[in-house]
Amino acid sequence: MWFVCLFVKTGADGKLTDKPADAILYPGGSLRLNCSSDIDDPVEWWLTEEGSTVKQQVTSGGELTTDFRDLFMINASNLEATRTSDTESYCGAYECVDENGAGETATAAVSSKHS
């Protein structure tokens, strides 16, 4: 009896070519977190809000998840938002993950300032 083993390469093969940077968001200001990869799979975005330990999925398959559609826009793999009032807060740790959520990660801290 013969067995044939096939090895499929999995894991983090792609690399992030642009990584998000820490940012401060003022009322009326815009937020743009850049993240891109050297492969075609979309990056995934996750958010851990300030004061929380819960990581929330912001994008899936390159699209915004339901909870974040009113807060953000996706432009290529970049996450964008505009803060329109002092009551809005986008504070927290934003994590960009390569290979549709399975690869290299990069994190940026976002804080908000009042006008």
Tokens representing residue 81 in the block: 């938002």
H helices present in the chain, as ranges: 98-101
What is the CB neighbour count within 10 angstroms for residue 41? 17
Residues 6+ apart with CB under 8 A from 73: 64, 79, 80, 81
pLDDT of residue 17: 92
**Domain regions of the chain by residue span:** 16-112
Which overall architecture, per CATH, does domain 16-112 show?
Sandwich (2.60)
d(CA 97, CA 61): 12
Q: pTM for the full model?
A: 0.82
* Interval 72-115: pLDDT, tens: 899 888 999 887 766 667 889 999 998 776 789 999 999 987 65
Residue among 30, 19, 10 nearest 97 (CA): 19
E runs forming strands in 20-77: 23-25, 30-33, 36-37, 44-49, 55-57, 59-60, 63-64, 73-75
Residue 95's identity, in one-letter code, is E
* Interval 6-27: pLDDT, tens: 444 455 467 899 999 999 988 7
Going from the C-alpha of 57 to that of each of 43, 62, 87, 97, 100, the distances in angstroms are 12, 11, 22, 11, 12
